[in-house]
């Protein structure tokens, strides 16, 4: 079974295929190909309202990042002009992939509107940690409304812990006021003081 993960590639946050053992959700709505979904028009219209262009491309032979990874969907954008593009593969990209990228766009827009980034890199590991932890926690909230595999919930928990490391958490809990401000803007409903034990119990991580 082909599976999915996320890597940082240049100026993109990419959901990717890999040969690891991370499962899909096993929910027919979320795993449905984006272009074949009954939500295709609704989601496309919503993305237009967010100033997003959809760019259908063939990712089947495009390797990115590291190892044996192939792109599934990717967001391209910057905070300057407020214009974004989602690259997606009609034969690979699922509804959940698009929802994940759509959440990133909302995060970008919050950050652009706030002006809090300053001269900090949009793709520093600390800022990316905020983006990805927020997007995966969004997914975790979303999948509680659906019947999804426990393995996928475990994957989400692992992704949150992989991005929001103890180092990142300690930076937030230190006197880094600017980082706190940036993170709170990216994901205002997040509790940055991550309780790793509670999260592990929630998704049944050993």
**Residues 35-52 pLDDT 10s:** 999 989 999 999 988 888
Q: Which of 6-10, 70-74, 110-114 has the highest mean pLDDT?
A: 110-114
- Give the integer Cα–Cα distance in Å for 96 and 140: 11
State mean pLDDT over 118-143: 84
- Give the integer Cα–Cα distance in Å for 149 and 96: 14
- Give the integer Cα–Cα distance in Å for 151 and 161: 15
State mean pLDDT over 133-141: 89
Judge whether residue 58 has pLDDT over 50. yes
Q: How far apart are the first and last CA of the chain?
A: 24
Which H or E element spans position 150? helix 150-163
CA distance to 36, 172, 196, per residue, from 179 (Å): 40, 6, 20
State mean pLDDT over 19-33: 77
Top pLDDT among 70 and 140 is at 140
Judge whether residue 76 has pLDDT over 70. no
**Banded pLDDT at 73 (limits 50, 70, 90):** low
**Structure token pair of residue 92:** 């690979």
The three-class DSSP label of residue 139 is helix
Cβ–Cβ under 8 Å, residues 99 and 47: no
pLDDT tens-digit map of 81-92: 677 888 888 888
- Give the integer Cα–Cα distance in Å for 136 and 166: 17
- Give the integer Cα–Cα distance in Å for 107 and 119: 18
Tell me how many domains the chain contains.
Answer: 1
Q: Which domain holds residue 119?
A: 3-202
Over pLDDT 90: what percentage of the chain? 12
Which H or E element spans position 17? strand 12-18
Provide the angle, in degrees to the nearest 10, between the axes of the packed helices 95-114 and 125-143.
130
């Amino acid at each position: 079974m082909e599976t999915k993960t996320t890597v940082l590639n240049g100026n993109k946050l990419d959901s990717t295929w890999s040969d690891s053992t991370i499962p899909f959700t096993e929910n027919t709505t979320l795993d449905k190909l984006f272009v074949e979904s009954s939500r295709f028009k609704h989601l496309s219209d919503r993305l237009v309202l967010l100033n997003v262009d959809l760019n259908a491309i063939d990712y089947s032979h495009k390797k990115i990042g590291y190892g044996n990874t192939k792109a599934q969907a990717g967001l391209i954008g910057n905070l300057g002009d407020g214009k974004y593009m989602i690259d997606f593969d009609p034969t690979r990209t699922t509804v959940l992939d698009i929802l994940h990228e759509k959440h990133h766009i909302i995060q970008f827009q919050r950050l652009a509107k706030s002006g809090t980034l300053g001269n900090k890199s949009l793709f520093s590991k600390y800022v990316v940690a905020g983006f990805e932890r927020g997007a995966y926690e969004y997914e975790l909230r979303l999948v509680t409304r659906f019947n999804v595999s426990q393995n996928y919930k475990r994957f989400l928990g692992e992704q949150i812990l992989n991005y929001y490391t103890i180092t990142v958490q300690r930076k937030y809990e230190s006197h880094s006021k600017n980082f706190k401000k940036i993170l709170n803007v990216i994901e205002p409903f997040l509790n940055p003081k991550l309780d790793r034990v509670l999260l592990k119990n929630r998704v049944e991580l050993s």
